Structure 1
């Protein structure tokens, strides 16, 4: 049941990370906001990997070509997913934008079963489907004019990219002959390092002024990196231990904490349909935890 602890840890940190990135998106371009997630994270993860490895007497593993393929694919897809999430912040209010991206649990279940050999139980599928319904309810699907096709498309694309990122991260962890905690740490370190290099290169070539805008908000940038780092440790470790679809369905509890952030920080009202969605998310979480 350790995967439940790591998932809830990820939920807590990611909620604050998303809120911080939403604040940054008002003054910093999308690429810069995405970079804030990775900029200071690799050194933190390096220390984490060292500590958990030394305590267990584990050395540096052998990294196979198969491992590197998963790392590159996961890194690129996560950059795309994070960028789409930032775009979502500008399409709808914060709570709905975060909710739309939660389609990743259902996508991870279907794609995982078809292409990654995931074997999910009937109870698990029920939880995943209820969670997907909750996402649509929270996204305001009944208010047709308030929810544009563009927003839905971006949300589904974002969720799909996150789902594939997670599936590749799980495969990379299993490609290493290490315990789950150490394997997930190494995967996260290389993914974050590659993402940081790629984004810094892109911004230097195409949007050099972005670095100045990030430098003007040092507190938010550091906070985004730190919360993202610890959130990712939780996600990657949980996904190494358990099927991605189950982890992401339980991770939908993030919407509850997002609602609290929405009320307290962004001063946005929570509507009736959102409470219905929260009840469904709670039921979905219970089902996948019992699986």
Structure 2
């Protein structure tokens, strides 16, 4: 609505199925007490708030990439990512300066390890911003939920954990959602 971009009815259904998959994967809710109290628990409220803010951020990133006057989507994504990470760096530096000055030195001393982590994180963010440049933010975020499936697969391959029936159902819902979204694009 903010950017004047809509989604198709099938896209909306696919996103709702994906949200259902995420809810199933988020774990069993406490079965005691009324349903509204379980849904409005402090942890659920924090999760929903974080999700809403991520959604707002995604729409803002999409709008920012569209505002860059360049024809190349990779350049638009790069300019937007540079602006966003610069603002994050400045905000974090001010926060640390005001709240925990010694931490600034610790961060700077960890540059060898942090540099590689930062570069790989930047590559992931560049991919997200490129996707926001090319497609509606709702679709990008919904398809991006595939990272949950990869996370579960990683726990099986590296930590030898068993996949529960609840996790299979959640992954099936997410995969269905993602496939339906791919058909609508």
TM-score higher than 0.5: yes
* Cα distance change of structure 1 residues 209 and 147 upon mapping to structure 2, 3 Å threshold: farther
1:160 maps to 52
Q: Does 1:185 align with 2:185?
A: no
1:120 maps to 7
Q: Residues 180-218 of structure 1: CA distance to partner in whole angstroms, max 9, x if unpaired?
A: 221111011111111101111210221123235445755
1:236 maps to 129
Of residues 127, 138, 152, the one that matches 1:245 is 138
Number of aligned residues: 178
Of residues 169, 184, 203, the one that matches 2:61 is 169
Compare relative contact order (CA 8 Å, sep 6+) and give the higher one, 1 or 2.
2
Report the Cα offset of residue 263 of structure 1.
3.9
Aligned counterparts of 1:185 and 1:137: Cα–Cα separation in 2: 35
Q: How does 1:19-98 map to 2 (within 5 A)?
A: none
1:106 maps to none
Unaligned runs of 5+ in 2: 33-37
* Cα distance change of structure 1 residues 220 and 281 upon mapping to structure 2, 3 Å threshold: farther
Aligned counterparts of 1:264 and 1:213: Cα–Cα separation in 2: 34
Aligned counterparts of 2:106 and 2:121: Cα–Cα separation in 1: 20
Report the Cα offset of residue 122 of structure 1.
1.1
- Contact 1:141-1:147 within 8 A present in 2 as well: no
Asked which structure has the greater CA Rg, the reply is 2
Report the Cα offset of residue 272 of structure 1.
2.0
CA RMSD of aligned residues (A): 2.4
Report the Cα offset of residue 162 of structure 1.
1.2
2:21 maps to 134
**Secondary structure at the counterpart of residue 119 of structure 1:** coil
**Secondary structure at the counterpart of residue 136 of structure 1:** helix
TM-score by length of 2: 0.84
Q: Residues 135-193 of structure 1: CA distance to partner in whole angstroms, max 9, x if unpaired?
A: 11001244446998222111111111111111111111111221222111101111111
Unaligned runs of 5+ in 1: 1-112
Aligned counterparts of 2:164 and 2:153: Cα–Cα separation in 1: 13
Aligned counterparts of 2:109 and 2:156: Cα–Cα separation in 1: 27
* Cα distance change of structure 1 residues 178 and 184 upon mapping to structure 2, 3 Å threshold: same
Of residues 198, 202, 219, the one that matches 2:91 is 198
TM-score by length of 1: 0.56
2:35 maps to none
2:173 maps to 280
* Cα distance change of structure 1 residues 148 and 218 upon mapping to structure 2, 3 Å threshold: farther
Aligned counterparts of 2:155 and 2:40: Cα–Cα separation in 1: 21
Q: Residues 78-134 of structure 1: CA distance to partner in whole angstroms, max 9, x if unpaired?
A: xxxxxxxxxxxxxxxxxxxxxxxxxxxxxxxxxxx3x33221111111110100100
